[in-house]
Amino acid sequence: MVYFSKWKVSIILGIVVLGLAFAAPNLLDRKSADELPGWLPHEQVNLGLDLQGGSHLLLEVKASVVVRERLESLVDGVRIALRKDRIRYTGLGLRGKTVTFMVRKSSELEKARKLAQGIEDNLEILAEGNRVTVNFTQRALVEIEKSAVDQSIEIVRRRIDETGTREPTIQRQGRDRILVQVPGLDNPERLKRLLGKTAKMSFHLLDHKGSMSEAMQGRIPPGTMLLPSVEGGNQAQRYLVRKRVAVGGDRLIDSQPSFDSRTGEPIVNFRFDTLGGKKFGDVTKKNVNRPFAIVLDGKVISAPVIREPILGGSGQISGNFTISGAQDLALLLRAGALPAPLTILEERSVGPGLGADSIAAGKIASIIGLILVVVFMVITYGIFGVFADIALLVNMVLILGGLSLLQATLTLPGIAGIVLTIGMAVDANVLVFERIREEVRAGRTPISAIDAGYSRAITTIIDANLTTLIAALILFYFGSGPVRGFAVTLSIGIITSMFTAIMLTRLCVVAWIRNRRGTEVPI
């Protein structure tokens, strides 16, 4: 036990050197760390959002909206198919997640069933008596939901990228959630505003035949809808808009904020792709001197009158924008529409000031805690205390190195975990030293006391540390964000402290005792 083979010594020292190498980049600033030669580790510890400042948003995709849309278009599909084949039907509509209708003649039931089957794959069709019910298969529903979430993630990513923020993290969480983490953001409100809009834009013609006053009383002509203007809240002006989309926003390929050359007001310039441009040209050619509406998320942004055909495929929107309003709208149109609205379920935003303060406070607390423990150990165990302290310092280096190597995230509770480790890491050494004291008292020679001290304490050390590790791992599994950071540093700290206490201190003790063979153990 008092003997260390050469290879064992090299492995122990090797681990220490590796730890130093992985920890070292943290002493440099980010730029010089990146410039280190390629064969050296140059990763730094990842700081959590609570330390570097930034926003954490948990979003939920309302996928049910997409399912509803698909069902509505299925109703349309059924109607078109039945009319085309002149099958007479009644009561076509949606009931929950089911499309149902009745055929007039029961002899046509089979024909209707076949027709419905042909509309789309993934349909389950039931025909009984005169009634036909059409459902999406369970698999299709899951698929619709999944693709809605995937698409949302893509749009969220584009919108955040467009704001020019660095290194956002965007992940799917669970079935219908998206976790967005944006470090170093100074204006979380803008981000939330940008993500809070579906940004579905479409161009419609205004209905010029229907009577506005009748529509206001609820008699809305078929094929039209009554939409409020964006401004004005409850007293917003209303427009009677044709349901039919003249050109959809999905045909846009670019949009930029700009200023009107005459009035100097902020506007948004947009450009359609070829097909969209052609459609827009056709519509405007046929409807000169009639008003059309630009509709965003069910509200009319503006309703200008078409003065002349717009054939170039590009145009502008002027709708009493502020400068930032125009910028945001242009960004949203560039990034595309979300398939379904997003709800913010959770937000944690930390300003850069608080993050920096937390780092500073954490540093001071760690250093003072370290000094207190180091001094206390020397006072209690003399030279052996110095060995334990060496192990403790190496332990700190190894934790830092481990965090950098694993690219784990250091959070404020994570720093607390490190401070806690400072206090608990010496425990293994304390166990050994107290055991040695006992053995010396029992009359053993120094070497045999040290030997017995280590061999007897080791099972205790492992038992004691494994139980704490269990708690830490469970915390890691269930914890989120900052708390998870605590579990990480605690777990790494437990493992490194077992290594340093069992291996490194023992190496020190053995080396020391070789030089002073025979003298009594000063413990």
Partner 1 sequence: MKPLNLIPIKPSLDFAGKRIIFFGFSILLVLASIALFVARDLNYGIDFQGGILIEVRVDKAGKLGEMRQQLSNLGLGEVALQEFGAPTDILIRIQKQEGGEKAQQAAIDKVKKELGPGVEYRRTEFVGPKVSEELFRDGVLAVVLAIVGILIYIWFRFEWQFGVGAVIALCHDVLTTIGIFALTGIEFNLSTVAAILTIAGYSINDTVVVYDRVRENLRKYKTLSLFELLNNSINETLSRTVMTSVTTLLALLSLYILGGEVIRGFSFAMIWGVVIGTYSSVCLAVPLLLYLNVNRGTGRTKSDGEVAQEASS
The answer to whether 351 contacts partner 1 (rule: CB under 8 A) is yes
The Cα 262–Cα 304 span in angstroms is 16
For partner 1, give the closer residue by CB, 118 or 423: 423
Q: Mark the segment that binds partner 1 (CB under 8 A) among 6-14, 86-94, 221-229, 483-491.
A: 483-491
Q: CB of 184: closest distance to partner 1 in angstroms? A: 14
Taking the complex as a whole, how short is the minimal distance between the CB of residue 291 and partner 1, in angstroms?
A: 32
Taking the complex as a whole, the smallest distance from the CB of residue 342 to partner 1 amounts, in Å, to 10
Binding-site member from 164, 218, 233, 353 for partner 1 (CB under 8 A): 353
Q: Looking at beta carbons only, is 225 or 386 nearer to partner 1?
A: 386
CB of 372 to partner 1, least distance (A): 4
Contact indicator for 227, 238 with CB cutoff of 8 Å: yes
Give the Cα separation of 217 and 220 in Å (integer): 8
Using alpha carbons only, how large is the chain's radius of gyration in Å? 35
With CB under 8 A as the contact rule, the residue among 80, 288, 311, 345 that binds partner 1 is 345
Which one among 13, 80, 305, 372 touches partner 1, defined by CB under 8 A? 372
Least distance from partner 1 to the Cβ atom of residue 451, Å: 7
The residues, any chain, with a CB within 8 Å of residue 390's CB and separated by 6 or more, are: 504, 505, 508
For the bound state, the minimum distance from the C-beta of residue 205 to partner 1, rounded and expressed in Å, comes to 32
Interacting residue with partner 1 among 369, 390, 406, 508 (CB under 8 A):
369
Amino acid at the residue 361 = A
Our CB check for partner 1 shows the closer of 121 and 463 to be 463
With CB under 8 A as the contact rule, the residue among 211, 478, 514, 520 that binds partner 1 is: 478
Cα-Cα-Cα-Cα dihedral sign, residues 269, 274, 279, 284: positive
Q: Encoding tokens for residue 433?
A: 């030293």
CB closer to partner 1, 223 vs 351: 351
Task: Give 228 or 315: the residue with its C-beta nearer to partner 1.
Answer: 228
Please give the size of the binding site for partner 1, defined by CB under 8 A.
85
17 touches partner 1 (CB under 8 A): no
In the window 389-448, what residues touch partner 1 (CB under 8 A)?
A: 412-413, 415-416, 419-420, 422-424, 426-427, 430-431, 434, 437-438, 441, 448
- At closest approach, how far in Å is the CB of 178 from partner 1? 13
Start-to-end Cα distance in the chain: 19
Structure tokens at 375: 């001094």
CB 177 within 8 A of CB 204: no
Apex 451 CA angle, 448 and 452, nearest 5: 85
Q: For the CB of residue 450, give the shortest distance to partner 1 in the complex, in Å.
A: 12
Minimum CB separation from partner 1 for residue 454, in Å? 11
Closest CA to 420 of 375, 376, 366: 366
Footprint on residues 205-264 left by partner 1 (CB under 8 A): none
CA angle 150-155-156, nearest 5°? 95
Report d(CA 470, CA 258) in Å as an integer.
59
Identified binder of partner 1 from the candidate list 211, 343, 407, 445, rule CB under 8 A? 343
Contact between 169 and partner 1 per CB under 8 A: no
Pairing between β-strand 98-103 and β-strand 89-95 as defined by DSSP bridges = antiparallel
Indicate the residue among 179 and 295 with the shorter CB distance to partner 1: 179
Choose which of 145, 486, 504, 506 interacts with partner 1 (CB under 8 A). Answer: 486
Given a contact cutoff of 8 angstroms between Cβ atoms, the answer to whether 316 and 269 are in contact is yes
The Cα 390–Cα 292 span in angstroms is 78
**Closest separation between CB of residue 520 and partner 1, Å?**
12
Among the listed residues 13, 17, 471, 511, the single contact to partner 1 using CB under 8 A: 471
Q: Compute φ and ψ for 241, nearest 5 degrees.
A: -115, 140
Give the pair of three-digit tokens for residue 60.
């939920």
What is the footprint of partner 1 within residues 264-293 (CB under 8 A)?
none
Please say whether the beta carbons of 372 and 470 come within 8 A.
no
**CA–CA dist 124, 133 (Å, integer):** 8
Beta partners for residue 179, in sequence order: 58, 171
CA 25 vs CA 105, 358, 398, 460: distances in Å: 80, 21, 13, 36
Binding segment (CB under 8 A) for partner 1, from list 237-245, 264-272, 303-311, 477-485:
477-485
Which of 216, 361, 393, 511 contacts partner 1 by CB under 8 A?
Answer: 361
Distance CA 167, CA 53 (A): 13
Does residue 298 touch partner 1 according to CB under 8 A?
no
Site for partner 1, residues 25 to 84, rule: CB under 8 A: 50, 58, 60
Cβ 320 to partner 1, closest distance in Å? Answer: 20
**Cβ-Cβ contacts under 8 Å for 433 (sequence gap 6 or more):** 381, 384, 388, 453, 523
Contact residue for partner 1 among 30, 143, 376, 512 (CB under 8 A): 376
* CA dihedral sign, ordered 468, 471, 474, 476: negative
What's the token pair of residue 194? 């940008």
Is residue 164 left, alpha or beta, with left meaning phi > 0 and alpha meaning psi from -120 to 50? left
Site for partner 1 in 490-509 (CB under 8 A): 490
Which C-beta is closer to partner 1: that of 331 or that of 472? Answer: 472
Q: Please choose, out of 228-236, 297-305, 368-376, 496-504, the segment that lies near partner 1 by the rule CB under 8 A.
A: 368-376
Shortest spacing between CB 511 and partner 1, in angstroms: 20
Q: Minimum CB separation from partner 1 for residue 11, in Å?
A: 24
Per residue, the 3-state secondary structure of 238-280, as one string, reads EEEEECCCCEEHHHEEEEEEEECCCCCCEEEEEEECHHHHHHH
Least distance from partner 1 to the Cβ atom of residue 369, Å: 4
